[in-house]
Amino acid sequence: MDRDALLAEARAVRDRAYAPYSGFRVGAALLGASGRVYVGCNVENASFGLTICAERSAVVAAVAAGETRFQAVAIVTDSEGPVAPCGACRQVLAEFEPKLEVWSEGGGVQGGWRLDQLLPEPFRELPERGR
């Protein structure tokens, strides 16, 4: 699947975002190694800490379907330019693919990064001590 097709998937799911507090709707489309696409949108909550981002929503859908290897993620927002994933989303994505391609679109402007550029030192499980 190419960048434009994955961005189109993210654009479509963005319209289903639940963002009554911020008004900032986000859609994400995650391309699995299998070629299957998993989508997610942000879902806000009055208790802001319970809000889930679109990228993590897509990861949860993929894992629930049994997919844990990914090629790329596309993110579409209502902003005036491309927006990178937040820190929490970067860490969750890095759990599965530290060099994931990240494509973003906002206001019709596209941009992209590799995840390891956005999060060069992700948290990793600490090695066992004393061995």
- What amino acid is encoded at 14 in this protein? R
Class of domain 3-118 (CATH, top level): alpha beta
Give the pLDDT band (50/70/90) at residue 129: low
pTM comes to 0.93
Q: What is the mean pLDDT of residues 44-59?
A: 97
Cα separation, 29 vs 8, in Å, equals 9
pLDDT tens across 81-124, in order? 999 999 999 999 999 999 999 999 999 999 999 999 999 999 98
Residue 130 has pLDDT above 60, yes or no: no
Which sequence positions are flagged as catalytic? Answer: 55
Looking at the predicted structure, is the pLDDT value of residue 128 above 90? Answer: no
Query: Residue 84 is encoded by which pair of tokens?
Result: 């990178």
Rounded to an integer, what distance in angstroms lies between the CA atom of residue 4 and that of residue 69? Answer: 21
Residue 126 confidence class, pLDDT cut points 50, 70, 90: low
Provide the residue ranges of all domains of the chain, joining segments of one domain with +: 3-118
